[in-house]
């Protein structure tokens, strides 16, 4: 049975109402919820979904940790004035994730693999960026990774509803499926010899983002066809995982020249 999440970002709630309204149980809000939640309420009512009073109890029952948006209760912080009760979205098989990649007429496309990312804010931010730039899908690891909690949905700002994803226990086996589908594996590492500018955009790529502190695991790195880094031009030589992902995605998707 799908886990019920309490979503407190109105954009995330609205995206769920637009894409899978049957998975939205109810909307709870107070009179101080604001215009964005009023839009959510109208959309919910138009689909026959209950809109009630309440929202933002510190006794929230969703699984996972709390966000930093001022919308999820924290010690000494504010409490949400609205929330949507939504079933978590189901992942798909790795075969479905890469289906049709080889047959793409333009021979391009971008997928992501997240190797043991543990900060739900990073995962949510990456889903948001992926949805913005039109990434085809995201592969995640089952173990040593942040679960897809309500925090991830809130930070993703709707991105969780639009990007197909697959959660796998064996990343190397999933890489084999990706290569069978015609994808090339590109690992991101600050220790790589090649820079991002040298990477060609004439093929479908599966871009691998490593753990926030340790980067990619050894077996993951050995499975990559190519490694690249973002060249630093200032005194700080590293980037947050989600920020680095945004730069890599925007470049590889062709958004930047």
- Tell me if 257 is assigned to some domain: no
Q: Are residues 146 and 25 part of one domain?
A: no
Counted domains in the chain: 2
Q: Are residues 61 and 182 part of one domain?
A: no
Q: Are residues 172 and 107 part of one domain?
A: yes
CATH number at residue 41: 3.30.1330.30
Domain boundary among 60, 87, 114: 87
Q: Are residues 217 and 110 part of one domain?
A: yes
Query: What pLDDT score was predicted for residue 61?
Result: 42
Q: Are residues 111 and 83 part of one domain?
A: no
CATH number at residue 173: 3.40.1280.10
Q: Are residues 205 and 113 part of one domain?
A: yes
Residue 52 lies in domain: 4-87
Q: Are residues 208 and 113 part of one domain?
A: yes
Q: What is the pLDDT of residues 170-227, one digit of tens each?
A: 999 999 999 999 999 999 998 899 999 999 888 899 999 999 999 999 999 999 999 9
Query: What pLDDT score was predicted for residue 255?
Result: 66
Q: Are residues 177 and 199 part of one domain?
A: yes
Query: What pLDDT score was predicted for residue 44?
Result: 97
Q: Are residues 236 and 112 part of one domain?
A: yes
- Tell me if 122 is assigned to some domain: yes
Q: Are residues 66 and 37 part of one domain?
A: yes
Q: Are residues 118 and 57 part of one domain?
A: no
Query: What pLDDT score was predicted for residue 106?
Result: 64
Q: Are residues 234 and 175 part of one domain?
A: yes
Rounded distance between C-alpha atoms, residue 190 and residue 113, angstroms: 17
- Tell me if 183 is assigned to some domain: yes
Those residues of the chain that have pLDDT short of 50 are 57-78, 257
- Strands (E) located in 99-211: 110-114, 137-141, 165-168, 184-188, 205-209
Domain boundary among 87, 115, 145: 87
Rounded distance between C-alpha atoms, residue 94 and residue 99, angstroms: 8
Classify 94 as helix, strand or coil. helix
Comparing C-alpha atoms, which of 157, 154, 144 is closest to residue 66?
Answer: 154
């Amino acid at each position: 049975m799908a886990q019920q999440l309490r979503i407190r970002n109105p954009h995330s709630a609205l995206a769920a109402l637009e894409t899978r309204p049957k998975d939205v149980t109810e909307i709870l809000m107070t009179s101080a919820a604001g215009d964005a939640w009023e839009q959510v309420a109208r959309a919910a009512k138009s689909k026959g979904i209950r809109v009630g009073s309440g929202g933002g109890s510190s006794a929230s029952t969703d699984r996972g940790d709390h966000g930093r948006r001022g919308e999820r209760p924290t010690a000494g912080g504010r409490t949400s004035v609205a929330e949507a009760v939504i079933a978590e979205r189901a992942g798909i098989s790795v075969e479905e994730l890469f289906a049709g990649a080889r047959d793409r007429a333009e021979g391009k496309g971008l997928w992501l693999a997240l190797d043991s990312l543990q900060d739900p804010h990073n995962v949510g931010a990456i889903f948001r960026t992926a949805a913005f730039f039109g990434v085809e899908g995201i592969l995640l690891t089952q173990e040593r990774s942040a679960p897809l909690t309500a925090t991830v949905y809130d930070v993703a700002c709707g991105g969780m509803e639009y990007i197909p994803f697959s959660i796998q226990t064996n990343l190397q086996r999933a890489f084999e499926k990706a290569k069978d589908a015609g994808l090339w594996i590109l690992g991101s590492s600050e220790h790589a010899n090649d820079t991002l500018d040298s990477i060609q955009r004439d093929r479908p790529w599966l871009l691998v983002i490593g753990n926030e502190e340790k980067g990619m695991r050894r077996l993951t790195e050995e499975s990559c066809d190519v490694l690249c880094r973002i060249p630093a031009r200032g005194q700080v030589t590293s980037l947050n995982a989600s920020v680095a992902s945004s730069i890599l995605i925007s470049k590889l998707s062709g958004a930047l020249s």
